[in-house]
Amino acid sequence: MAYENLLITEEDHILILTINREQALNALNTQTMQELHRFFSEDAPKRSHLKGIIVTGAGEKAFVAGADIKEFLGLDAASGAEMASFGQAVFFLIERFPKPVIAAVNGFALGGGCELAMACHLRIAAEDARFGQPEVNLGIIPGYGGTQRLIQYIGKSKAVELLMTGDMLGASEAWRLGLVNHVVPNGLTVDKAKEILNKIAKKGPVAIQKVIESVNAYFQFDEDGFAREVREFGNTTGTADFREGAAAFIEKRKPTFTGK
């Protein structure tokens, strides 16, 4: 089934997923969220050849400027909770995807857009990028994980301030606080993301997957992250990749990993 609000292209085993609602500043309406869910639950897992995924927004004005507020007007407590639950499920799929997912952020990343960027493993910001959770301006709060992930990235004190004031962060401030990994000139976010994915692709694929799983475990209330690290360290030592990596180190050559 084709996607209507997502553009998907591949180049050199790197997939670029573009939120394609430029006329609406790439706002996350219900259809877009459903398509993201289908992509990360059904389509992306089949693409085992991928080095990783880059998520970006169409046009120069916005990565994703938020959710589609018009769809909020008919919500009550029950349907609002259902929407938030589904949104969190979509972003957990991204956060737990076994290959690196990098957000290439151009322009506004607000509300659901900021939450989408935070669900990705890394964030590359253009110099004109702006981040924020302005939901309180509408009398609501973030629902797709914003109150939780923002604290993880920048700490409680500053996160609470931003969540309560609705203020935006510029790219340089977002970098200083640790929300983004790199700030680059406008138009170069995807290029920087490709550079990072190509560097990661030279590492052991199983190890990269286990890094993602172990780091995520730190933030899961029902799991001991240290215990998960012990388990996954043990699992990686039993792989062909580890034997190849160790042999290459001893023999002073570059390893050839197979993902096994």
Query: pLDDT tens-digit profile of 4-38?
Result: 999 999 999 999 999 999 999 999 999 999 999 99
Q: Give yes or no for a contact between 90 and 19, defined as CB atoms under 8 angstroms apart.
A: no
Q: Is 90 part of any domain?
A: yes
In this structure, what CATH number is given to the domain that contains residue 114? 3.90.226.10
What is the distance of C-alpha 221 from the center of its chain? 20
Percentage above 90 pLDDT, the chain: 77
Q: Tell me the one-letter amino acid at 235.
A: N
| Cα–Cα distance for residue pair 96/215, rounded to 1 Å | 10
Structural domain boundaries, residue 23: 6-200
* Total structural domains within the chain: 2
Q: Is 256 part of any domain?
A: no
Q: Which residues are identified as catalytic?
A: 115, 135
Q: Tell me the one-letter amino acid at 42.
A: E
Tell whether the model's pLDDT for residue 75 goes beyond 90. no
Regarding whether 154 and 40 lie in a shared domain, the answer is yes
- Entry field: residues in the chain: 260
Q: Is 1 part of any domain?
A: no
Instruction: Return the sign of the alpha-carbon dihedral for residues 28, 31, 34, 38.
Output: negative
Of 183, 200, 217, the one marking the end of a domain is 200
Q: Is 192 part of any domain?
A: yes
Averaged pLDDT for residues 84-113: 97
Q: Tell me the one-letter amino acid at 254.
A: K
Q: Is 260 part of any domain?
A: no
| Cα–Cα distance for residue pair 259/237, rounded to 1 Å | 13
What pLDDT is recorded for position 231?
Answer: 78
Question: What does DSSP assign to residue 118?
Answer: H
What pLDDT is recorded for position 173?
Answer: 98
Paired tokens of 196: 């990072």
Instruction: Look over the chain and give the mean of its residue pLDDT values, rounded to a whole number.
Output: 93
- Direct distance between the N- and C-terminal alpha carbons of the chain, in angstroms, rounded to an integer: 31
Q: Which of 55, 58, 5 lies closest to 28, judged by CA? A: 5
Regarding whether 29 and 149 lie in a shared domain, the answer is yes
Of 185, 200, 215, the one marking the end of a domain is 200
Parallel, antiparallel or unpaired: strands 14-19 and 52-57: parallel
Regarding whether 128 and 84 lie in a shared domain, the answer is yes
Label residue 250 exposed, middle or buried (CB < 10 Å: 0-12, 13-18, 19+).
exposed
Regarding whether 118 and 13 lie in a shared domain, the answer is yes
Query: pLDDT tens-digit profile of 192-237?
Result: 999 999 999 999 999 999 999 999 988 877 777 677 777 777 778 7
Q: Is 70 part of any domain?
A: yes
Q: Give yes or no for a contact between 197 and 102, defined as CB atoms under 8 angstroms apart.
A: yes
Tell whether the model's pLDDT for residue 1 goes beyond 70. no
Q: Which residue has the higher pLDDT, 54 or 251?
A: 54
Regarding whether 126 and 224 lie in a shared domain, the answer is no
Regarding whether 234 and 117 lie in a shared domain, the answer is no
Q: Is 257 part of any domain?
A: no
Q: Give yes or no for a contact between 238 and 210, defined as CB atoms under 8 angstroms apart.
A: no
| Cα–Cα distance for residue pair 79/143, rounded to 1 Å | 12
Regarding whether 224 and 121 lie in a shared domain, the answer is no
Regarding whether 177 and 84 lie in a shared domain, the answer is yes
Regarding whether 177 and 146 lie in a shared domain, the answer is yes
Query: pLDDT tens-digit profile of 135-149?
Result: 999 999 999 999 999
Q: Is 128 part of any domain?
A: yes
Residue 42 banded pLDDT, cuts 50, 70, 90 = very high
Regarding whether 215 and 184 lie in a shared domain, the answer is no
| Cα–Cα distance for residue pair 13/35, rounded to 1 Å | 21
Q: Give yes or no for a contact between 142 and 104, defined as CB atoms under 8 angstroms apart.
A: no
Regarding whether 219 and 91 lie in a shared domain, the answer is no
Averaged pLDDT for residues 82-109: 96
Report the helix count and the strand count for the chain, using DSSP H and E.
10, 10
Of 178, 200, 222, the one marking the end of a domain is 200
Regarding whether 212 and 192 lie in a shared domain, the answer is no
Averaged pLDDT for residues 61-67: 94
What pLDDT is recorded for position 244?
Answer: 82
Residue 250 banded pLDDT, cuts 50, 70, 90 = confident
Residue 252 banded pLDDT, cuts 50, 70, 90 = confident
Q: Which of 87, 219, 54 lies closest to 152, judged by CA? A: 219
Residue 92: Cβ within 10 Å count = 16
